[in-house]
Amino acid sequence: MADTAAIIADLQRRLQRLEDKEALASLLNRYCKVADDHQWRAYAETFFEDGSMCFENWGVTRGRDAIQKAASVEDRFGGLQHSMTNMEFTLGNDGQTARGTCYLWFAATMDTSKPREHHAFGGHYTFTFARTDAPEAVGGWLIKTMNLKKIWAQNEDKEGVFGN
C-alpha cells in the first residue's frame, strides 16, 4: 500500500500545477480584456517591470513604460477585440517559470457603429512567465516575454498600425 504522506504530497503538487495553469489563463484573459478596454497601464502591468513584448512589425519593446506607450497606438480604434484560443502552458520543473502558446484572433474598428469597417488579423503567440509576489500579479504570475507572429490579415489596416 502506498504511503499516505506520499500520496498527499503528489496530489498537492498536481493540484498546484492545475492552479498555476488556471492562473496563467486568467493572466492572459486580463491581458486581452484591459487592451480591449484601452487600459494601457493595466496592460503593461501584466508584464514584469523589465518584461518584453515583440510584435514582429513593432520590433522588441522592453519595460512597462515602453510597452504602455507602444500598445497605446491602438487608442485610435473605437473598438478592439483580442481573442486567444488553444492556450497551452508548460510549467518549469522549478515551479517558478512557465511557457505558453496560443492563437490570436484580433479585430479593430475605427467606429463601433460601423462594424463592417474593420481590420482583423491572427497569429501565434509565445510567452514566458515567472512567479512573483508583486501586487499586480494574477495568481502569482506575470509575463516575462511575449512574441506574436502575424500569419493572416483581413481588410486593409488603413491606419498603418499593424503593418501588412
Paired strand residues for 81:
107
Q: What is the Cα–Cα distance from 80 to 118, expressed in whole angstroms? A: 10
pLDDT tens for each residue of 6-47:
999 999 999 999 999 999 999 999 999 999 999 999 999 999
What are the structural domains of the chain?
Answer: 4-154 (3.10.450.50)
User: pTM for this one?
Assistant: 0.92
> Is-contact 138 115, C-beta < 8 A?
no
DSSP annotation of 138: B
CA 26 distance to own-chain centroid? 10
